[in-house]
Homo-oligomer: A and B are copies of this chain.
Amino acid sequence: MSEFPDGDGTRVETLERPALAAAREAIADGIARGALVTVFGRCTVDYEGRASSRLEAGDRHVMLKPDGAALVHTDEGQQPVNWQPPGCEHDVYRDEADDRLVIESVRSTPDERLRVSFGTVLQVSAFSGTDENDLALVGTEEDLRERILTEPDLLEPGFTPLATERETPAGAVDIYGKDSAERTVVVELKRRRVGPDAVSQLRRYVDALERDLHADATVRGILVAPSVTDRADRLLVEHGLEFVSLEPPAE
C-alpha cells in the first residue's frame, strides 16, 4: 500500500492485487474516511429494487462515492452497467464460505440493493481531495429564456412578457405574456430540436389557460426551439400552435 498525503490533505491509497481480506479492509477504511473508493476486478453484480438484474462474472470498475452513490462500469458505454443513487449505505464484507469479497449498497424509498461480488480484486484505490467549484454551464433552456426576456422582439415584434413559471392547472408555463393585440401568449421553450412531446406539453398549457381564463379569450401557444421534427410540425398545425426558431446563446 502506498499513501500520499500532501499539504492540501489530498491523499491516494492504492492496493494492487490484494488478498480479499486486505481489499476488504482498504475499502472499509476508505468508506469510513469519506474517500472516493474504486475497485477493479472480476465480479458478478446483482440488483434488486425498482427492477431486478443479474450480471455474470466479468472484469469491471466499481466506484463508491462518499455520498452513497455506487457505479459499476464495464469498458463500454457512457452509462454504468449497474449503479446505486446517492444516499445509499455502502457495506463491504467477506463471504468466507465462498471465498469472495462482497460490496453492498442499500437504500430505502425505494428499497433497493446492489450487490457486487468479487472473486478476484486487481486494484483498490481510495482518493481524498478537495473540490470547491461548481460547473458553469451555458446553453440551457434558462439561458434561452433570458435571451427572450432581454429582447422580447426576438419572439415577435410587440411581444410583452408578463411572467415566467406562471402556474396553470396543467403546470407552470415557461413564459406567459401578451402580444401586440393584447392576446394572451403561452411560450414553451426547448434548448434543442423537439418532437411531438413538446407540442403536447404546450397544448396542455394552452388548454388549461383557456379553461382558466374562461372560454372567450383566445390563447396563443408558441413553441420556441432551434427546430422541430416533421411529426411535431404537423401536430403544431393540428393544434393551432405556432413555432419560432431560436437557439440558446452559444456562450
- Residues on A facing B (Cβ under 8 Å): 2, 4, 10, 12, 14, 16-17, 36, 38, 40, 42, 50-61, 63, 65-67, 69, 71, 73-78, 81-86, 122-123, 125, 127, 129-140, 169-171, 191-192, 196-197, 200-201, 203-204, 231, 234-235, 248, 250-251
Within 8 Å CB of A14, what residues of B? 14, 16, 123
Shortest CB-to-CB span from A111 to chain B, Å, is 12
Within the assembled complex, what's the spacing in Å between the Cα atoms of A56 and B196? 38
Within 8 Å CB of A40, what residues of B? 12, 125, 127, 129
Q: Is the CB of B139 within 8 A of A58?
A: no
* Count of chain copies: 2
Q: Is the CB of A201 within 8 A of B197?
A: yes
Quick one: which of B10, B52, B75, B248 contacts A250, CB cutoff 8 A?
A: B52
Shortest CB-to-CB span from A116 to chain B, Å, is 13
- Given A53-B135, A53-B137, A69 and B59 contact (CB-CB distance below 8 Å): no
Within 8 Å CB of A61, what residues of B? 36, 38, 63, 127
Instruction: List 9 tightest A-B contacts by C-beta distance, closest first.
Output: A59-B129, A51-B139, A58-B131, A200-B200, A56-B133, A53-B137, A69-B78, A12-B122, A36-B75
Q: Is the CB of A53 within 8 A of B136?
A: yes
The winner among A42, A59, A130, A251 for most chain B CB atoms within 10 A is A59
Within the assembled complex, what's the spacing in Å between the Cα atoms of A134 and B235? 39
